[in-house]
Structure 1
């Protein structure tokens, strides 16, 4: 297989990360990385086009200098409280004399399952077939070639606000980069942070970034729930700023250098920063209260009260906020389920900076590109697809 170049851009609330790589036979090699402080973004959405465009351009230029070539196109991560999702079912009859399920039957069933009524201001971001059943036989992963009279398919459909997507794509193109595909952030993070066993048994992933917490739940090796919470790391920083009476920038620095939520670790010590003395226990208590609330809200997003049975593999936390010392221990204590911090896999090339939970999403987008290349051809978010919806597929080949 010929080596090909791929790239991804994570346009977050706190940082913008561009990664350029190449791949051959599924092996990924990182060629360039550009990380800059985010500007013009709030809770995953563009609030200042010019500032966001310039920050993206800086990130891209930094990655290009390391890689040694110009970035033409990339996958783009998408998040924001405007993201919605639902599961929908499609049913068809197999009326041919041989009653064998063909690829065209899968397409027809997916088309029916994808037929949902949406306001004009929303677009489809992903249509993901979750599972199939043939004549009532559940758990069929690939029904093509099976004999049956009825084919059912359940899809997970993720939609986004058109204006938010268009503003983001405008910024990317203004920075000189075309868009290969749009990927909902937690789907990408799951590619990098979850194991096959976790996906099969049942697991919930929480990508806690600066402005949003992106959630994806898996069961039976398929996705069944996604959502976005408009609270994340910046709210922790805000609480520190208010609680200690200091500027937001100082609070963010203190959070990164001194914060901990390890149960029972906080003592009576104090620390000095910029000529001011702060109580370590006070800082830890502020951070712990907000993080505990965030963890509880994450679990409440699941469509079931008995979450311990729904996700026996527990919770995997990733994103920048996952770097808080003790967050996994706190999660296990509060939620009484297994909790671990998810990090990207080790990669070849100039990848040292990517060995961090904050980079799980952007690495996941590269893996998404590799893992889904043969399964489907994704529609880029161009003018043509803007009329009919932005669709990326995990399985099959549903039409727009």
Structure 2
């Protein structure tokens, strides 16, 4: 049974997570995990090359020690407000005598869709084929073998700042890691947390990290919109710090220990104490609820239609570290009137106990992405709602 080695590194504002694994027909087995505090990044962008490089190196070293071999190449995540997305079409004629769509025609129409003018300071990150049209017949998933004279494709194109890409690649190179592929974070998070039915019916994923909230909207099984909000867990901690008059570090401790959206039932005035400071639990929950309610509404504003209830019949899924705040799903349902749940990555075999948490959805999704894409093997896990997010065409172009 042939095994394929996989490696993924999620570099976020608050943590760096490295996963080393192998995959075969039986599924994915995690061999090594390294999680360290992140340094040198703000809102997904490198602000200190040396600090970011050292944080990546520490995370990789921990994973290598557990796995027992050296990590050379990895699939990595990227996010930040510099990432933009748009939908674009490509059209080609089928000129052969038999007028049958063949794989070279599909490659040609994707190349046409990709050949749009991109500013010199930007690079294409992904070109994701959504659906094909053959002689006016829309919604075709695989046109190969179909009879027709004209082939069209609708694509979702994601571009990123060339400077941001190159700075991140420098950090990995300095840590001794070659970048195999860069994946926009919400795409990998969706791979780990969304079901096929949700993607088909229409769903919005919001990955609330430390510095950004990454958004992906799916409909009819396809990604139709992605974006990044510059508000996330950091803003919640900041509000607690200001509201309670404590340091940012103590506010983070309070959030992790006592944070929730709703007061404790029957005792909303219970006094809490941390670091020599006392405050009512209701005050803390009011601060958290206000910020999270604003974030839920900001996510809704990113949905590309005002009739979001009709588009998002699959509802809303929250993941990321801040999705662990108790009551978030209930608050989301109250605000949106949609089905809302917290997206957990699937449990996997091996040394993966700490990964069964929304905070690691992106990292797990990176591994699943490569297992689905490179090996063509259906992902199997011991638990979790995900059925795999399918295959995408990922493109990372260097200068």
TM-score by length of 1: 0.93
Aligned match of 1:340 = 341
Following TM superposition, by how much is the alpha carbon of 1:68 offset from its aligned partner in structure 2, in angstroms?
1.2
Matches within 5 A, 1:233-272: 233-262=233-262, 265=265, 267-272=268-273
CA distance in structure 1 between the partners assigned to 2:103 and 2:394 by the alignment: 9
Aligned match of 1:382 = none
Aligned match of 1:354 = 355
CA distance in structure 2 between the partners assigned to 1:359 and 1:397 by the alignment: 21
Following TM superposition, by how much is the alpha carbon of 1:139 offset from its aligned partner in structure 2, in angstroms?
1.1
Size of the aligned set, in residue pairs, is 383
Aligned match of 1:388 = none
SS of alignment partner, residue 372 of structure 1? helix
Aligned match of 1:132 = 132
- Give CA-to-partner distance per residue, 1:297-340, whole Å, 9 cap, x none: 01110110000111101101000000000000000001110100
Instruction: Summarize the Cα distance change of 1:282–1:397 in structure 2 as closer, same or farther, 3 Å threshold.
Output: closer
SS of alignment partner, residue 101 of structure 1? coil
Aligned match of 1:208 = 208
CA distance in structure 2 between the partners assigned to 1:208 and 1:52 by the alignment: 21
SS of alignment partner, residue 147 of structure 2? coil
CA distance in structure 2 between the partners assigned to 1:105 and 1:26 by the alignment: 34
Structure 1 residue runs of 5 or longer lacking an equivalent are 376-392
Contact 1:262 1:329 in 2 (8 A): no
Q: Which aligned runs of 4 or more in structure 1 are off by greater than 2 angstroms?
A: 262-266, 393-400
CA distance in structure 2 between the partners assigned to 1:99 and 1:271 by the alignment: 73
CA distance in structure 2 between the partners assigned to 1:200 and 1:67 by the alignment: 37
Following TM superposition, by how much is the alpha carbon of 1:74 offset from its aligned partner in structure 2, in angstroms?
0.7
Instruction: Summarize the Cα distance change of 1:343–1:305 in structure 2 as closer, same or farther, 3 Å threshold.
Output: same
| Mapped pair 1:286 → 2:287 | yes
| Mapped pair 1:35 → 2:35 | yes
CA distance in structure 1 between the partners assigned to 2:34 and 2:268 by the alignment: 38
SS of alignment partner, residue 374 of structure 2? coil
Aligned match of 2:174 = 174
Matches within 5 A, 1:13-162: 13-25=13-25, 27-162=27-162
| Mapped pair 1:9 → 2:9 | yes
CA distance in structure 2 between the partners assigned to 1:151 and 1:66 by the alignment: 49
TM-score by length of 2: 0.93
Instruction: Summarize the Cα distance change of 1:331–1:251 in structure 2 as closer, same or farther, 3 Å threshold.
Output: same
Instruction: Summarize the Cα distance change of 1:30–1:342 in structure 2 as closer, same or farther, 3 Å threshold.
Output: same
CA distance in structure 1 between the partners assigned to 2:16 and 2:279 by the alignment: 31
- Give CA-to-partner distance per residue, 1:347-380, whole Å, 9 cap, x none: 00011000000000000000000111157xxxxx
Following TM superposition, by how much is the alpha carbon of 1:346 offset from its aligned partner in structure 2, in angstroms?
1.1
SS of alignment partner, residue 368 of structure 1? helix
CA distance in structure 1 between the partners assigned to 2:203 and 2:57 by the alignment: 36
Instruction: Summarize the Cα distance change of 1:106–1:284 in structure 2 as closer, same or farther, 3 Å threshold.
Output: same
CA distance in structure 2 between the partners assigned to 1:233 and 1:397 by the alignment: 28
Aligned match of 2:384 = none
CA RMSD, Structure 1 to Structure 2 (Å): 1.6
Q: Mean Cα displacement is larger for which, 185-194 or 259-268?
A: 259-268
Contact 2:4 2:375 in 1 (8 A): no
- Give CA-to-partner distance per residue, 1:275-296, whole Å, 9 cap, x none: 1111211111001000000011
Aligned match of 1:224 = 224
CA distance in structure 2 between the partners assigned to 1:332 and 1:153 by the alignment: 35
Following TM superposition, by how much is the alpha carbon of 1:49 offset from its aligned partner in structure 2, in angstroms?
0.6
Structure 2 residue runs of 5 or longer lacking an equivalent are 377-389
Instruction: Summarize the Cα distance change of 1:212–1:395 in structure 2 as closer, same or farther, 3 Å threshold.
Output: closer
